[in-house]
Structure 1
Amino acid sequence: MIQNREKFLEKIATSLNRPFSPTQKPVRNWQHKPEEKKLSHLSIDELMSAFVEQCGRLNNTNVVEVSSGDVKKAVDEAVKQHGGESVALWNDERFRALCLDELYENEWADEGLRVHVWDSNLSRTENFERTNDSNIGIVFAEYALAESGTVVLYSAEGQGKAVGLLPNAFIAIVKKSTLRPRITQAVKEMEREFVEAGKTLPAAVDFVSGPSNSADIEMDLVVGVHGPIYATYIVVSDQ
């Protein structure tokens, strides 16, 4: 727990000749707000085009746009393209709403694919081990950001963040209606959704921009050092 935080912040506020209020949101009346304006004039279809274009600049990142009726086929094809073998996914009602449970409970089992659904009844270690042994992780994104080719993930019970971090390939399903210009708009919506509504924030909020990339001092790029090597974003056009 942070100690003496309010005393520390009060000292800074005093030095800046500003009133100290730990509960009141500061007023920021800046003359120019480029962070709010960039890409904000685009329609949802134009944001989609910008998102696809930016993802094309990321390593090993593919975007597929489908209707809700074709999500099952798109997910199955993406799993096969990434080599199949084993899949980890969240325990999330959205899978059942899109009939994806038919895949992981029946079809993939018949095909010999190993499936791990994040289980809150198991220990953290066991969930991590089963996820780490999976070739592909499948999650749902809350938002997609056109500027950076980013998807936003919430961690919650049944939605372990390891599913998007440990497997070799990462598949995110995102509603087209949740496309936003950039991180500015997504954070503002999260503020309204949780802070202003008095709700508890997710255990973690992850901003994922394609596979893991790492470069040494000589700028030799290596993909997959700290996370997945491949990423597929399946955008549901009619949601």
Structure 2
Amino acid sequence: MIGTIHNRDKFLNQIASQLNRPRISAPIEKPNWKFQPQYEVFKDATQDELLEILKEHCKKIHTKIFTTDLIELPGIVNDVVAEYGGGPVVTWKDERFSKWGLDSLMKEKWPSEKIDVFEWDYKLGEENVQKAENANVGITISEITLAESGTVVLFSDKDKGRTVSFLPATSIMLIPKSTLVPRATQAAVKMREIYQKTGHVASCINFITGPSNSADIELNLVVGVHGPIKATYIVINDL
């Protein structure tokens, strides 16, 4: 369904009038700034160097981080889930879980151990949210990872509900090493490149930095206010 914009011209004309100038209807040329320091920070860092920066920042955001190859990945995921107290576990529906060898864990080992595993299914509607709300562990995948701030970027779609990352009590975020970029500047560039290549942008893009926390009240940091109380990053060497 395409929405209709009502009284747009009247609204914009009123704003222009209050600014004492005519409306600007032609495209505005993008300024060519002489200095753009946002592109300079860590611009020459290798993926290994970005990984070390990420590891160091994880100490500041109360987030555990592991690095692994695909062979060891199932074992590390299993160990983290066990450390968090087991299931229920909720995951996205994403072919990369199978590609990375996690089927034996999610569809065989855990069910045999009576650990409930739920895979997001958009056809089930509200039941997905209920499963995420009752889950102990949510497992997602970072599409872009900001080394400077320890931030993962999650793209939502019909098979990747955003509630998987913030309703379960704990969170595991899988990070392909190839997704590491220095900071938000490069993340924005990469998202534009993805859009130019595919013509599509995710319905919801979440920038998540470790477990939920807030220092709004008297600057006292409280972890787990409005989302997972614990978070683990697992970096997968896919290069």
The superposition leaves residues 64-122 of structure 1 with CA deviations (integer Å, 9 ceiling, x where unpaired) of 11012211111111111111131000011001101211111110011111111101120
Aligned mates of 2:168, 2:47 — CA distance in 1: 31
TM-score by structure 1 length? Answer: 0.89
Aligned mates of 2:102, 2:198 — CA distance in 1: 33
Q: What does residue 169 of structure 1 align with?
A: 170
Unaligned runs of 5+ in 1: none
Q: What does residue 100 of structure 1 align with?
A: 102
- Cα separation, partners in 2 of 1:120 and 1:27, compared to 1, 3 Å: same
Q: What does residue 181 of structure 2 align with?
A: 180
Q: What does residue 109 of structure 1 align with?
A: 111
Aligned mates of 1:17, 1:48 — CA distance in 2: 51
**In the TM superposition, what are the counterparts of 1:54-133 in structure 2 within 5 Å?**
54-59=57-62, 61-123=63-125, 125-133=126-134
Deviation, structure 1 residue 19: 5.8
Q: What does residue 228 of structure 2 align with?
A: 228
- Cα separation, partners in 2 of 1:230 and 1:5, compared to 1, 3 Å: farther
Aligned mates of 1:5, 1:235 — CA distance in 2: 48
Q: What does residue 40 of structure 1 align with?
A: 43
- Cα separation, partners in 2 of 1:221 and 1:44, compared to 1, 3 Å: same
Moved more, 155-164 or 208-217: 208-217
Q: What does residue 52 of structure 1 align with?
A: 55
Q: Does 1:200 align with 2:200?
A: yes
Deviation, structure 1 residue 32: 0.8
Q: What does residue 160 of structure 1 align with?
A: 161
- RMSD of Structure 2 on Structure 1 (CA): 2.2
Q: 2:53 aligns to what SS in structure 1? A: helix
Aligned residue pairs, count: 233
TM-score by structure 2 length? Answer: 0.89
Deviation, structure 1 residue 15: 6.8
Aligned mates of 1:127, 1:5 — CA distance in 2: 38
Q: Is the 8 A contact 2:67 2:234 kept in 1?
A: yes
Moved more, 33-42 or 136-145: 33-42
Q: Is the 8 A contact 2:12 2:23 kept in 1?
A: no
Unaligned runs of 5+ in 2: none
Structure with the greater alpha carbon radius of gyration = 2
Deviation, structure 1 residue 42: 1.0
Q: 2:60 aligns to what SS in structure 1? A: coil
- Cα separation, partners in 2 of 1:111 and 1:38, compared to 1, 3 Å: same
Aligned mates of 1:6, 1:109 — CA distance in 2: 59
Aligned mates of 1:110, 1:98 — CA distance in 2: 20
Q: Does 1:31 align with 2:34?
A: yes
Aligned mates of 1:119, 1:207 — CA distance in 2: 23
- Cα separation, partners in 2 of 1:4 and 1:44, compared to 1, 3 Å: farther
Identity of aligned residues (%): 39
Q: Is the 8 A contact 2:70 2:101 kept in 1?
A: no
Deviation, structure 1 residue 237: 1.4
Deviation, structure 1 residue 217: 3.1
